[in-house]
Structure 1
């Protein structure tokens, strides 16, 4: 009798488990009406998201429906009554939440990895990728379960909306290769497969990865051959245009808010050696001109910014420098664990 009672109580606890739903109601409208459809490709081995606690009470985090492909398709159709002809795919690679014990209580943790592709002629073209690993301490969040669910929802909506304006890396893959896209696509990008770099000015990471410099711009130097910025080839120095990198005499440079830094290459990919002050000038009390690219895309190669490679080399004497990788698919910084990004 006691065993039956315990079983019933345990069963009631399971069925009474509280749930925190991930709300897919943020607007994902394609304002230019290029998108024809959005299809979810759920590539997770374990479909269970996990349990996270609010005030010691466990909540199972989950989507509102089990049929995720229909759930996401309906979400897209609801916001896109007028449709185009581009098929978009959202790949859900990892989504997990859990409790992490602390000295006094527990904090929530979120792991999320998603990517987007467009499909053309039975091939997939990479657009964007997001990877998140974040802790949610009790002291920072009034309701951890809601905060985590809201973050998942916003990240899904944001990557979808951001993908509408992406043209995609020109490295098509088959659907059977989606599980290994992070390895296959870079192998077909010129910046990784070629022995040398192509001189020129690159407006974004896509053009840099494919080694297709912007023909409207050229590297600007002084009479001593020192790089001073970029210039228009037609003679008009309208330099408000953001650029990602410049290559001169086969040497690639990345612009940070305070200097340009040589891009190096090894078996793991491309990287720069930089200090925290060069990437996030908030660490430095000296006033600096901050461009558009502390997070990756760099801007502000304007005439007012003096770029001196000789001075950049001397900088290594008095700073702590870190290997900062450059993501092979997005061009964003891969910061080392001890390199703290300011909040």
Structure 2
């Protein structure tokens, strides 16, 4: 009898555990009518998303529809009556939620790690379009229920990423269908900045020119007596720093950011700078930082800016999603897109 009561108590506890559902129901209409189909490749090695703590209780986050592949197809069909002739493939590579206490912080932060990529498929060939690879941080001081916040952020990121992929620039290099799961290794070979042993000195106007190791000889830098870069010169005239992405001097790259130039170091993962969100996130016109849980159109703009953070923007700033954390860590430069990848 005691064993039965114990079993029932345990069962009741498990059943009472909070569950927050990710409902993928935003409008993903292709306004130009170019897209014929939307297919998902769920490439996650572990399909369990995870749990976070909400007021001393564990709250698990799940998809409302466990059959994601079927859901994506129906989702697109329901929102798109008029279709074109382009097939889009979305690859979900990673999705995890967890609590993490950062260094020198007194309490943990609920976080969501998401990596998602988009491709155009033609016959048995895939063409890379873009990807979003980041950690979204929830601020416990301003958010009452972290699981609700993160579930909504995940839903927003996925839906807005899909719409951005519809009109994204397609890479010229194709990936054979049997290599799609190794697309990064397949495409990264074209990144000359990573494959060359020595970087070409000069000023680079975009991530693409850095990727291809094609500095612009129209530009040069001027320094003050302390050796600090103070001016960008184009054809003998002073111009805005926003026209540059980075510069290389003596084989060392320096990335333009809102707080100055940060050295781009390299390890087995690629190039990175040691910085924080507070140093890279752009402010809104009203002075407040752009954070998530806001109108879908703005979220889409933020995700688009995060994906396109390889461009110069406002002195290398990126519009952010999630809490503007002061946590410093290695922030990687996506080897295919130039976007910032936060891991903390």
Distance, in Å, in 1 between the alignment partners of 2:275 and 2:146 is 35
The 8 Å contact of residues 28 and 76 in structure 1, kept in 2 or not, is answered as yes
Structure 1 unaligned residues grouped into runs of 5+: 232-237, 283-291, 302-321, 338-343
The structural deviation recorded for 1:153 is 0.6
Asked which structure has the greater CA Rg, the reply is 1
TM-score of the superposed pair, with normalisation by structure 2: 0.66
1:285 aligns with none
Relative contact order higher in (CA < 8 Å, ≥ 6 apart): 2
2-side partners of 1:47 and 1:176: how far apart?
22
Q: Which deviations, in whole Å up to 9, do the C-alpha atoms of 1:108-146 show, x marking residues without a partner?
A: 332222221221231222222222334435322112111
Structure 1 residue 208: Cα displacement? 5.0
Which secondary structure does the structure 1 equivalent of 2:62 belong to? strand
Show the counterpart of 2:324.
none
Q: What root-mean-square deviation, in Å, do the aligned CA atoms of Structure 1 and Structure 2 show?
A: 4.8
The alignment partner of 1:169 has SS state of coil
1:275 offset after TM fit, Å? 12
Question: Structure 1 CA distance, aligned partners of 2:133 and 2:187?
Answer: 18
SS of alignment partner, residue 162 of structure 2:
helix
Q: Which residue of 2 aligns with 1:329?
A: 336
Moved more, 135-144 or 147-156: 135-144
- In structure 2, relative to structure 1, the CA distance for the partners of 1:142 and 1:324 (3 Å cut) is closer
**Mapping of residues 1-343 of structure 1, within 5 Å:** 1-99=1-99, 107-193=109-195, 204-206=206-208, 208-210=210-212, 219=218, 229-230=233-234, 244=245, 269=270, 295-298=309-312, 326-333=333-340
Q: Aligned pair count?
A: 302
C-alpha displacement of 1:52: 2.5
Task: Look up the SS of the partner of 2:141 in the other structure.
Answer: helix
1:300/1:99 Cα in 2 relative to 1: closer, same or farther (>3 Å)? closer
Structure 1 window deviating more from structure 2 (38-47 vs 183-192): it is 183-192
CA spacing shift, 1:29–1:277, aligned 2, 3 Å = closer
Q: Which runs of 5+ in 2 are unaligned?
A: 222-230, 284-304, 316-328
- 8 Å contact 2:135–2:343 — kept in the other structure? no
TM-score, normalized by length of structure 1? 0.66
- Cα displacement (A) at 1:186: 1.2
Structure 1 residues 300, 32: CA separation in 2 closer, same or farther (over 3 Å shift)?
same
